[in-house]
Structure 1
Amino acid sequence: MGDDMDPKLEINKQTVLAFYEVGLNQKDFAAASKLIGDRYVQHNPRIADGIEGFDAFLGQLRRDFPALRAEVKNIFAEGDFVIAHVHGVRVPGQLGTAIVDIFRLDANAKIVEHWDVMQPIPETAVNHNGMF
């Protein structure tokens, strides 16, 4: 069976999609924490390591950006990694941010590590391709 048919990859993608929905869109820490493994390593310099760091981050989102939405445009999985190309909008009506999130999952399909890169979507561009 080739990697593209590996059911573990689909399970990992579904875990990450659920994490976006309950964690970032609903800001439901209890539900999101069930998708995180025993040790959560964070590479975003604005978020602390561990489940406590994620809880504090969600608290900040609930307080500062309660209407924040993350829309996954593309999602890829290989090995223990899931990569998502995401449109994040903190405040409705804003152009938002193009984000690439990289997650590493453990053998139980729990998120154990996260990296991201973000780029604000500009008002104008020198091409007409868009960021998604």
Structure 2
Amino acid sequence: MPPSLEDNKATVLDFYEVGLNQRDFEAASKLIGPRYVQHNPLIADGIEGFRDFLGYLATEFPQLRAEVKSVFADGDYVIGHVHGIRVPGQRGTAIVDIFRLEDGKIVEHWDVMQPIPEDAANQNGMF
């Protein structure tokens, strides 16, 4: 049976935890398919591009945290609304990640990021 929407969401949530929060390449690589297409222009395609990205995060932002505020699934796509904090005490970044999965593995990724401003024109918050 193909993975359910809940299975796909669980895969992405695991990816955030082991990949981004723990920067555990071995664990995260098990969640990535044989071909990984990256649409963030700062990260190379493929598993090696992801490995290099994790190395960069571990060196430059060793206390980085990705706090998933909500996650949605539609077919093979999973969307995460995330509060990314590179350095504790900073406001951080509001992030929307879009993942495409095949056979329960992440095979493609897009993201958009917006710094959280000190002052906002409304009181709605970004999450």
State the TM bucket, normalised to the shorter chain.
over 0.9
Once residues 3 and 59 of structure 2 are traced to their aligned partners in structure 1, the CA distance between those partners, rounded to angstroms, is 38
Code of the aligned partner of 1:62: A
Code of the aligned partner of 1:55: R
Equivalent residue for 1:27?
23
Equivalent residue for 2:36?
40
Shift of 1:7: 6.4
1:127 aligns with 2:127: no
Please report the TM-score for the alignment, with normalisation by the length of structure 2. Answer: 0.98
Gap regions ≥5 residues in structure 2 = none
1:82 aligns with 2:97: no
Runs of 4+ deviating beyond 2 Å:
none
Gap regions ≥5 residues in structure 1 = 1-5
- Out of 83, 97, 101, the position equivalent to 2:97 is 101
Post-superposition Cα deviations, 1:2-33, rounded to whole Å, max 9, x if no partner, equal xxxx9610000000000000000000000000
Please report the TM-score for the alignment, with normalisation by the length of structure 1. Answer: 0.94
Post-superposition Cα deviations, 1:37-88, rounded to whole Å, max 9, x if no partner, equal 0000000000000000000000000000000000000100001000000000
Secondary structure of the corresponding residue to residue 18 of structure 1: helix
Equivalent residue for 2:6?
10
Equivalent residue for 1:110?
105
- Change over 3 Å in CA distance of 1:50–1:12 after alignment to 2: same
Post-superposition Cα deviations, 1:85-128, rounded to whole Å, max 9, x if no partner, equal 00000000000000000000002x10000000000000010100
Instruction: State the percentage of identical aligned residues.
Output: 77
Once residues 48 and 10 of structure 1 are traced to their aligned partners in structure 2, the CA distance between those partners, rounded to angstroms, is 28
Equivalent residue for 2:57?
61
Code of the aligned partner of 1:112: V
